[in-house]
Structure 1
Amino acid sequence: MIYRLEIYPTVKDMRAEVRKKAFAELVGTPIPELTIADVYTIEGERTEEQLVSIKQLLVNPVSQKSRWIYKSFQESIELPQFDWVIEVGYLPGVTDNIAATTTELIGDLPGSDRSSVYSSQMTFIKSDVSEKVIQILADSLYNPLIQRVIKKSFNQYQTDQGMELTVPRVKLQPQSEVTRIDLNISDEALIQLGKQGIANNDGSRRGPLALDLTYLQAIRNYFNGLRRSPTDVELESIAQTWSEHCKHTIFADPIEDAPEGLFKTYIKKATEEIRRKKGAADICVSVFSDNSGAIAFDEEFVITDKVETHNSPSALDPFGGAITGIVGVNRDTLGFGLGAKPIINRFGFCFAPPDDGTQLYRDKERIQPLLSSRRIIGGVVAGVNSGGNCSGIPTTQGFMYFDERYRGKPLVFVGTVGLLPAKLSLIQKKAQPGDCIVMVGGRVGLDGIHGATFSSEALSTGSPATAVQIGDPITQKKMSDVLVKEARDRGLYRSITDNGAGGLSCSVAEMGKESNGCVVQLEKVPLKYPGLAPWQIWISESQERMTLAVPPEKWPEFLRLVTSRGIEATVIGEFSNSGRCMVTYQGETVMDIAMGFLHNGLPQRQLVTAYPYIERNVNEIPVQSDLTEIFIAITGRLNTASIESISMQYDHEVQGGSVVKPLVGKGRVNSDATVVRPLLNKNKGIVLSHGLYPRYSDYDT
């Protein structure tokens, strides 16, 4: 049975007011009336009593009214006046956080099970605009990569007796076959394999491996030495591990005046030199070796810091890319040592101006348009908002910078500061042979496949929709709390890292370096839905997951603890000292690669610099006695204007430590620095600031 619960406001709804204003700006004509209704579609058998209880959970009788629709039954209520209705929901398999929370709530009702719930939203529009305009409005509400949309006129709605009972259930054909990939092919075919991925039976390609010819030749030589072809699991795994996203090869490979690479020559060497000069005054605790860096806060605590970018995913799905970025860097904090507590979030956005109407495309045929700058800005801001606010982490520091050259791809910086007791036993971690490989948190789905390799290349027509995932901050918050507030201090695990880029293929293999080997049984990995192939399970980047090394004798206690907190944990294998990364699926070995080759087998490439000629026109600045108009013009620039509207959306007071706020002074201007007191019983603070000057390269390359 399929049940549909529609919830309508009975008081003024500010969501509708904001959307009405946005619609009017988009099409240049006012929208007289607009109503937003929330929809929950529920599968399973329900009694009348349960339907009443579900309403009591989801509907506020003071400000909302609702109706159930199922079979041929419709509860009668007065609907808003409208000429058109647009409904937007998620595509099958896309993370639906509202639905996930609702599923849990309903499952807690007496006698109820956790049947599937799907959320969507209807927008009722009262206006005599044309269907073409309605299509423009509908397009502004959804992203076809992750969402579905249905629009109906009033007459069609009446004829159909409402909207369809749509269930976006994932339906996959079971895929257990493991493919052998022949690499003894021409260079042209190898290049195509690297750019477009492994071929499917129907001739389509899986998506980019981001492996160039040099890398693929090295892989071919390795497997020729073993006298066999690699499996698709092995090739996909190497692609994740060797990706620019994971290995930062552009910084690591030799370049003309830096034979050891840019990273070792300019970043690492400079840091080591500063630390050497500081001697005993050096405050660095961990540098270039863990998921975050760390410095001493005082004698009792260390603070960690990590900033990363989520540019390509945010260009495809601004909300999903941004929320995945912020919750991902939260997990990097959890993955430092044996787990630091996230205490501060920060952000930095580089966009094209919101009124930039330039239309760009991902393909030469101009069939796949990139999202508008205004759409990207709104989605990114909302994504960081949701990820931080729902995780209970204050967002205290950030910036926004505009330049038309970000039209093709925005820069989305997200960062997290963490706090950890300064005990060596909590900072150092090492998986031991015999430890259980435990996956904690969310389940694995198709979302996030090829995220690491996709983000290592330029956006193109082949950029896969599956590379975009949406984080679930509620699940991650529960996981974070049980790990850093309970399991860590009970000594229930020896090592931890996050399932970010490359999913299990990277997290397990990275931790396998600590013990010098691992064995994974893929059929034990919990899935969101059946039908995933072994390679998909291994490299999926489905969110809110951590990988831990749990001693066998600690596993029962660990499982009881996390289960009692509503978090799933599963043993999927064992760390070893075999020197190999081995993966099996239903008894068949699908991956068997030496750890040394997996992590260090990629060849170095000699990079060559090319200095672009930039014509610089230096004009004399005329002397003016009255600079008033110039001053007013400068204050009106996007890069000078306040970002108060952004800062005020982010909760900076949660956890209670904010001292110097994001907005200061009578004019509530954005502060150059913020101060947070991480420990409320100490008068010590963390000062955060930032700097950005991309135009410098316009004048000095």
Structure 2
Amino acid sequence: METSTDVYRFLVRPKERPGEHCGPRARSLAADARALGLSKIRAVHRAAIYFVRGTIAPKELSLLGRFLFCDPVVEDCAWERVGDAAPAGAPARARRIEVSLRPGVTDPVADEAARAARELGIKGVEAVSTGDAFDVEGDGVTDGDLRLLAERLLCNAVIQRWAIGRIEPSWPDEAAGSGEVERMDVGSMDDAALLALSAERRAALDVAEMVVIRDYFNREGRACTDAEFETIAQTWSEHCVHKTFKALIEVDAPGYPPFVDNVLKSYIKKASDEIAAPWVLSAFVDNAGIIEFDDEYEVSFKVETHNHPSAVEPFGGANTGVGGVIRDVMGVSARPIAATDVLCFGPPDAAPEEVPAGSLHPRRIASGVIAGVQDYGNKMGVPTVNGGIHYDHGYSANPLVYCGCAGIAPRGRHPKAAAAGDRVVVLGGRTGRDGLRGATFSSMVMDSSTGELSGASVQIGAPIVQKKVSEALIAARDAGLYSAITDCGAGGLSSAVGEMASVLGADVDIARAPLKYPGLAPWEIWLSEAQERMVVAVPPKDMDALRAICDAVDVEMTDLGRFTGEGRLVVRYGGATVIDIDCGFLHSGPPQRRLRAAPPVDASAGEPADERAPAGAAVSPAPAVGEALLAILAHPAVVSREPTVRLYDHEVQGATVLRPYDGPAADGPQDAAVLKPRETKGSRGLALSNGFNHRYGAADPYRMAVSAVDEAVRNAVAVGADPERIAVLDNFCLGDPTRRETMWTLLESARGCYDAAIAHGTPFVSGKDSFNNAYLASDGRRVSIPPSLLISAIGIVPDVGNAPGTDLKAEGDPLYLVGNPAPSFGGSVYAELFGLPPGSDPGVPGSPAGAPAAYRALHRAIAAGFVRACHDLSDGGLAAALAEMCIGGRLGARVALDGIGGTAPALFGETNGCLVVEADAPTAAEFERSMAGSPYRRIGETDGEARLLLSVGGEAAVVGLDDMIAAYSGTRSER
């Protein structure tokens, strides 16, 4: 009996609740539509679409619809064969837009659905694809309205397609790959032709680099293949080789030598080398920094950025950013135990005309990025425990997405040396066109054509696949089955195999690589940044044991070739050689970049030619203390992020001791996360924290760096970390490095990092730089981000039982201010709201006097159990910190301040090096003795009154607890 392959369409929609025609999702989409000016739209209802191709019996179709695609308690499902007479699509009261992924874009839901169908015994399923149906309700909604809604809100053309009415299913092009290799005679090209080639292939290589490539192939006496050129471009990209940090910089500024050779060595690594902490096990030589946890375990930490991809496709950019940094930790043989995220967006309420032409609206970028972070961490089972969200007009077209991951591993179990004869083995996901030229894409300034030209650089992650790969690697590590490991990140196999073979050389056949679909050219297979792949070097004798582990957890394992010991990278496609490059040339061939640095004309403007929002509001009449405090609590820099944080699972794995929000109502913001990894003994744990303030960077990049390091350290100290066991990571995000002002900002912030690290004794163990964070709008405007530096910290907490948290604990406890306050208003929240107070310090907070000694004394007090709550002073100053402590503990406080300055400086000025402490009343004397010789002062006490009483120089103000909660939670209405 003949069978034919059919395509079936399943539509799954939520059941309507009695009396509720429009649910919150429908109302939210309608509100977003009205923000686009589509006032006719009342509601937008979403339904899920599944297309299934195969030979499937009717009973099997019913099984798919009822038990796989649909939860019959809350959803309804209908199915039909595509091509049959279609029933009415949208309800009579609505019009429909349908959206689906473009062919070839990773569809993890479809992949998992196909796998689950096979698990159900439905063997005839060949392929699955997914989409969404949006039923739009409103009177007089036109095709033009629907088109605007689809293009601006419902569909991202980089990875999706849409239709009014019903969309037809589509599948990846299954034309067989020809295996043909393009050859380019670069040896005969003049400089202009070389630059044209670089631009045509989006290589982001300058003329000096192209000349070196030309000279190499002239010495080789042959043409360059497309795969060789793409490999060189990836290996030499800013993203991979950090050309700007390693550049020779000519400096035209007082206080600097005429030249700075290599910023990394001159400042960042120099600090670590001088500190020489014996508990640092690996710094700047591996996929992540590694420090000692105890005698049995080591902990690793890495933070990456995924900025350009998140601007083009927010969900996929953030999703794969999280997945990629988790793989970095897997690449040091560790088990991922925690994730962090610091996100920077344009104002969510920006008017459409304020958004740079050709870019997505900041609100859309933010919702996609947050969903991407949530999707990967939650599904992989890695808790998201620390982070932040920041807003500035400069991030409107170029968001910053910092993704971090911490891991744990037995000490001494991370092998790093492949040997000649070891097999080159790939584990995990299959290869597709997703992610092509991602490394070079991230090395260029974006413009309005970026999405169209760089769509292939965007990827979608598959966290379930990576979870299985992680399990396989841990088992392989414990069995000692591999001799080296790295992840497939930027550049894919080219980067992973190329780096592992940088000394030995390798000979691989990429025709063996498993593909998501046929039709890829050899260079596409080699350069694809398809996710969830790791490369390991495996001694031949261990291949069978590794394969058994992979089979047990359903991980695909592929033997591509071997490490040769001959010093050349040879890549074949079947019988054809597509790459044959000397490894020494590939990894040490790029010429050192020469750049210039000079202060901007206006040192507060960062990059004066860019259009940027002013750093502060116009001067306003001084507000009353209560009014000012409530406005600060509601400010985007301070207001609660709880609605976002609650989307993330921060307790999976059961190791989280101190959560992002804690206290009786679980809404008190914490300074850092504290974890107790499940495999460790005793009460020792670790703290993860961060320091970031872009407003400081726009005013003073040196002090921005000093402040970021100090904030990261004091946040860790506040939760019980030992200040003598804290390591830090740097992540620089700046604009165009060919501009002298950008390089001056880099030098100033790197110098600040060095000075602060030396002062605190906190070594840098890892870092990352991201340049070209600028956007050229189609109307000619250039928008650059504010200078941005994230400092992340990882510290050892000797006893997690003593981690105090920020929420006040009991009535009648004394409150102390630890540290030497030096309040200033440059880049402050108060100044942005109300302008500079008369006679105040307009500078950015600087290096705190006596802070390291104060932190050490405070740590002794915390370790002794004398501290019940502790909170650092940061955005909004002392008053904001006190308010957050009251909110978290649902208690009141009476505070009197003298000797710090006037009312505004004492309460709202921002300073480094200071924390508020609630001491345990019965042991307050012991707390004071432990702080002897360090700066501290008693400022008040807690009480049971539902208010915060603030007194400065005899002037008192009372702010109600309910008002503070409403302002901080974003629910306070203006009066």
**TM-score by structure 2 length?**
0.66
**Distance in 2 (alpha carbons) for counterparts of 1:621 and 1:36:** 46
Q: Does 1:43 align with 2:30?
A: no
Q: Structure 2 vs 1, CA of residues 114 and 435 (structure 1 numbering), >3 Å: closer, same or farther?
A: farther
For the pair 1:334 / 2:321, whether they are aligned, the reply is no
Deviation at 1:130, TM superposition (A): 2.1
Q: Which residue does 1:168 correspond to in 2?
A: 171
- Give the distance between the partners of 1:542 and 1:624, measured in 2 at CA: 55
2:432 maps to 1:445: yes
Q: Of residues 489, 496, 513 in structure 2, which corresponds to 1:507?
A: 496
Alignment equivalent of 1:101, drawn from 108, 112, 136: 112
Q: Which runs of 5+ in 1 are unaligned?
A: 153-162, 198-207
Offset at 1:302? 0.5
> Given that residues 66 and 77 in structure 1 are in contact (C-alpha distance below 8 angstroms), is that contact kept between their aligned partners in structure 2?
no
CA apart distance, 1:495: 1.4
Aligned counterpart in structure 1 of residue 128 of structure 2, from 98, 117, 129 = 117
Deviations 1:443-490 (A, max 9, x none): 111110000011011113254110111111111111111211x22211
Give me the whole-angstrom Cα distance separating, in 2, the residues matched to 1:371 and 1:76.
35
- Written as runs of structure 1 = structure 2, the 5 A alignment for 1:168-317 is 168-172=171-175, 174-183=177-186, 184-197=188-201, 208-256=202-250, 257=257, 259-275=260-276, 278=277, 282-317=278-313
CA distance in 2, matches of 1:343, 1:619: 42
Partner of 1:608: helix, strand, or coil? strand
- Structure 2: which amino acid aligns with 1:435? D
Q: Take 2:617 and 2:49, find their aligned partners in 1: how far apart are those partners? A: 60
1:390-423 CA distance string (max 9 Å, x none): 110000101111111112311110000000001x
User: Are 1:355 and 2:358 an aligned pair?
Assistant: no
CA distance in 2, matches of 1:235, 1:431: 26
CA apart distance, 1:30: 7.1
Report if the CA contact (8 A) 1:35-1:80 is conserved: no
Instruction: Report the counterpart of residue 15 of structure 2 in structure 1.
Output: 10
1:306 maps to amino acid: K
Residue 662 of structure 2: aligned partner: 664
Query: Secondary structure of the residue that 2:344 maps to in structure 1?
Result: strand
TM norm structure 1: 0.90
In 1, Cα distance between equivalents of 2:177 and 2:89: 46
Task: Kindly provide the CA deviation profile for residues 473-511 of structure 1, in whole angstroms up to 9, marking residues without a partner as x.
Answer: 111111111211x22211222211100011101100111
Which letter maps to 1:265?
Answer: S
TM-aligned CA deviation for residue 32 of structure 1: 4.3
Paired position in structure 1 for 2:780: none
Q: Would the aligned equivalents of 1:8 and 1:36 in 2 still touch at CA under 8 Å?
A: yes
1:359 and 1:370 in contact (8 A); partners too: no
* AA at the equivalent of 1:632: L
Contact kept? 1:5, 1:69, Cα under 8 Å: yes
Structure 1 77/601 Cα, relative in aligned 2: closer, same or farther at 3 Å? closer
SS at match of 1:390: helix
Shift of 1:292: 0.4
Deviations 1:26-63 (A, max 9, x none): 44647545432211101111112221221222222222
> Residue 71 and residue 675 in structure 1: after superposition, are their counterparts in 2 closer, same or farther (change >3 A)?
closer
Deviation at 1:128, TM superposition (A): 1.1
The 1:222/1:36 distance shift into structure 2, 3 A limit, reads same
**Is 663-672 or 372-381 further displaced after alignment?**
663-672
> What is the alpha-carbon distance in structure 2 between the residues aligned to residue 78 and residue 234 of structure 1?
50
The residue that corresponds to 2:674 in the other structure is: 675
Structure 1 residue aligned with 2:638: 640
Q: Is the 8 A contact 1:67 1:77 kept in 2?
A: no
The question of whether the paired residues in 2 share the 8 Å contact of 1:4 and 1:165 is answered with no
Report if the CA contact (8 A) 2:90-2:96 is conserved: no
1:497-646 alignment runs, 5 A limit: 497-513=486-502, 516-614=504-602, 624=622, 626-646=624-644
Q: Please tell me whether the aligned partners of residues 659 and 676 of structure 1 are also in contact (alpha carbons under 8 angstroms).
A: yes
Q: 1:92 to 1:693 in 2, by over 3 A?
A: same
Distance 1:457 1:133 in 2: 34
Equivalent in the alignment of 1:202: none
8 Å CA contact 1:16–1:35 kept in 2: the answer is yes
| Aligned AA (1:464) | S
Which deviates more, 60-69 or 433-442? 60-69
Distance in structure 2 (CA, Å) of the matches to 1:622 and 1:87 = 49
Root-mean-square deviation (Å): 2.4
CA apart distance, 1:350: 1.2
Q: 1:524 to 1:72 in 2, by over 3 A?
A: closer
Q: Which has the higher contact order (CA 8 A, sep 6+)?
A: 1
Amino acid at match of 2:545: E
Pick closer, same or farther for the CA change 1:360–1:215 going to 2, 3 Å. Answer: farther
- CA contact 2:68–2:113 (8 Å) conserved in 1: no
Distance 1:113 1:499, change over 3 A: farther
Cα shift at 1:84: 0.4
> Among the aligned pairs, what percent are the same residue?
39
Partners of 1:323 and 1:471 within 8 A in 2: yes
- In the alignment, is the contact (CA less than 8 A) between 1:254 and 1:607 conserved in 2? yes
Tell me what 1:697 maps to: 697
Gap runs ≥5 in structure 2: 1-5, 18-22, 251-256, 606-615, 701-744, 746-975
CA contact (8 A) 1:525 1:570 kept: yes
> Are the counterparts in 2 of residues 346 and 414 from structure 1 also a CA contact under 8 Å?
yes
Task: Report the CA distance between 1:672 and its aligned residue.
Answer: 1.6
Inter-partner Cα distance in structure 1 for 2:688 and 2:379: 22
Distance in 2 between residues matched to 1:216 and 1:616, nearest whole Å: 37
Shift of 1:613: 1.0
1:391 and 1:477 in contact (8 A); partners too: yes
Describe the shift of the 1:487–1:113 C-alpha distance in structure 2 as closer, same or farther (beyond 3 A): farther
Asked if 2 retains the 8 angstrom alpha-carbon contact of 1:359 and 1:372, the reply is no
1:201 corresponds in structure 2 to none
Secondary structure of 1:69's counterpart equals strand
Structure 1 residue aligned with 2:897: none
Compared CA separation, residues 490 and 40, structure 1 to 2 (3 A): same
| 8 Å CA contact 2:343, 2:388 repeated in 1 | yes
SS of alignment partner, residue 630 of structure 2 = helix
Whether contact under 8 Å (2:488, 2:535) holds in the other structure is: yes
Preserved contact between residue 67 and residue 76 of structure 1 (Cα < 8 Å): no
Structure 1 residue 561: deviation in Å?
2.0
Could you tell me how far 1:545 is from its partner in structure 2? 0.5
Aligned to 1:435: 422
- For residues 577 and 615 of structure 1, the distance between their equivalents in structure 2, rounded to whole angstroms, comes to 52
Cα offset for 1:683?
1.4
1:137 and 2:140 matched = no
Match of 2:69 in 1: 58
Q: Single out whichever of 579-588 and 680-689 deviates more from structure 2.
A: 680-689
Alpha-carbon distance in 1 for matches of 2:568, 2:194: 26
Distance change (3 Å), C-alpha of 1:42 and 1:477: same
Measure the CA separation in 2 of the matches of 1:143 and 1:522: 32
Q: Do the aligned residues in 1 keep the contact of 2:53 with 2:125 (CA within 8 Å)?
A: no
Assess, with a 3 A threshold, how the Cα gap between structure 1 residues 187 and 676 changes in structure 2: closer, same or farther: same
Displacement of 1:564: 2.6
Matches of 2:168 and 2:154, distance apart in 1: 20
Q: Distance in 1 between matches of 2:267 and 2:296?
A: 32
User: Is the 2:173–2:519 Cα contact (8 Å) retained in structure 1?
Assistant: no
